[in-house]
Structure 1
Amino acid sequence: MMAPDLPTTYLDYADIFKFETQRTGDDLAWATANVTPVSEGPWGDVPGVQIFYIGINTAGERIRLPQISSFWRYKPSGVQLAKSDDRDPDALHQTHYIYGPGPGVVRIELGPSMSGILIERPKGCQPIQATGLIDGKDFYFRESDGFWSLSVGGTHVVERPDWHYEDEHDTPDELSEADVYSLIAKGAALFRNGTPTVAVEP
């Protein structure tokens, strides 16, 4: 049984599907009018695709993403040949399926707007994680058990960042989204001020 405090308009699965389909259509129409598509791929024998990256802020407003972080690039999680009993396995043309985000539109939910910082809304709990851009460089934020860290730039921002910082925080309970954004802003200020990097612990 669904919770009684949920909006009644969301209790009907057909209505949910209709809403999601309409929203995707609206996003695609907005993206086509406002955002230049990014070419992704090809991946092996799978041809490339064009993707519209759309930022959706916490107020639900669509915004353009001025830069594309490598964290948000479209990469299919798996590619496989279509299976068909009537298809010649040695045929010249084979059909591929790409598994990944929806067709043509990638929606990215963003945190509050800060100068030079683009933050994807935090996810998870123990650890809480967030990714985004600080002055055009990828960043990765992580918090767990009273410790937080921020990594920026590098060939692999998680394993081999250009800059890394970690510290304790004194928030007694689980961090709120506002707490996460505050720590990211604090870390960004340390990065911009030239605070020395610390080694990434394995």
Structure 2
Amino acid sequence: MMASDLPTAYLDYADAFKFGIQRTADDLAWATANVSPVSEGPWGDVPSVQIFYIGINTAGERIRLPQISGLWRYKPSGVQLANSDDHDPDAPNQTYYLHGPGPGVVRIELGPSMPGILIERPKGSQPVQSTGLIDGKDFYFGESDGFWSLSVGGTDAVERPDWYYEEEHDAPDELSEMDVYSLIAKGAELLRNGTPTMAVEP
């Protein structure tokens, strides 16, 4: 998570760290007042935790998220402790889970608002990726090497979507944020118009 969008010249590391801590505290205060927590878990021996989900739009305003995408749900990281000195060397390796104390705040950066569509701001390069919701169903958008694809719905929207579409694009360079938003809108229109699903390439 970036501590600030300001150029680093304006903030030294200590100031940036304090700024990040304060912003998290402000977000927690706002979430507690405005957003209902979601119970996540339990997972195995890990107890359930209370998570507040907040969308931050491109103007920096906090937005309540009435629906939570399965792709954004909080899950603890599995950490494998392989050092045999840590436990009985004859015992099989155990997976230990780490999670922060609740209540937690999950900040999700959002693109522009469109009817029935919630878009997370794109990340990465080769592939450029974005996730979100189209009419309440998870979607995954990816673009690489001149092709873009949109996967929607299903128990795993990335690997086994209910609906998939892929197309070549003619953008000469890497897609801009606005390019990504317009392609997601185009894909949503194709889906809503009943365009048949395409086969997902393995």
Q: Per the shorter chain, which TM-score range?
A: 0.7 to 0.9
Matched to 2:109, the amino acid is E
Question: Does the residue aligned with 1:166 lie in a helix, a strand or coil?
Answer: strand
**2:132–2:138: 8 Å Cα contact kept in structure 1?**
yes
What is the Cα deviation at residue 135 of structure 1?
0.4
Question: Does the residue aligned with 1:78 lie in a helix, a strand or coil?
Answer: strand
Q: Indicate yes or no: 2:185 matched with 1:185.
A: yes
Q: Which residue in 2 is equivalent to 1:16? A: 16
Q: Which residue in 2 is equivalent to 1:33? A: 33
Q: How does 1:117-136 map to 2 (within 5 A)?
A: 117-136=117-136
Matched to 1:154, the amino acid is G
Q: Which residue in 2 is equivalent to 1:91? A: none
Q: How does 1:49-128 map to 2 (within 5 A)?
A: 49-78=49-78, 98-99=98-99, 104-128=104-128
Question: Does the residue aligned with 1:171 lie in a helix, a strand or coil?
Answer: coil
What is the Cα deviation at residue 189 of structure 1?
0.3
**2:77–2:97: 8 Å Cα contact kept in structure 1?**
no
What is the Cα deviation at residue 66 of structure 1?
1.1
What is the Cα deviation at residue 6 of structure 1?
3.2
- TM-score computed with the length of structure 1 as normaliser: 0.85
Q: Which ranges of structure 1 fall in alignment gaps of 5 or more residues?
A: 82-95
What is the Cα deviation at residue 7 of structure 1?
5.8
Question: Does the residue aligned with 2:7 lie in a helix, a strand or coil?
Answer: coil
**2:50–2:103: 8 Å Cα contact kept in structure 1?**
no
Structure 1 residues 141-182: Cα deviation after superposition (integer angstroms, max 9, x where no partner): 011111111010011111111101111111111100000000
What is the Cα deviation at residue 102 of structure 1?
8.8
**1:55–1:64: 8 Å Cα contact kept in structure 2?**
yes
Q: Which residue in 1 is equivalent to 2:149? A: 149
Q: Which residue in 2 is equivalent to 1:200? A: 200
**1:110–1:118: 8 Å Cα contact kept in structure 2?**
yes
Q: Which residue in 1 is equivalent to 2:159? A: 159
Identity rate, percent:
83
**1:31–1:54: 8 Å Cα contact kept in structure 2?**
yes
- TM-score computed with the length of structure 2 as normaliser: 0.85
Give the CA RMSD over aligned residues: 2.1
Question: Does the residue aligned with 2:165 lie in a helix, a strand or coil?
Answer: strand
**1:150–1:187: 8 Å Cα contact kept in structure 2?**
yes
**2:51–2:102: 8 Å Cα contact kept in structure 1?**
no
**Segments of 4+ in structure 1 off by > 3 A?**
5-9, 99-103
Q: How far apart, CA to CA, are the structure 2 residues paired with 1:101 and 1:80?
A: 20
**1:116–1:134: 8 Å Cα contact kept in structure 2?**
yes
Matched to 1:6, the amino acid is P
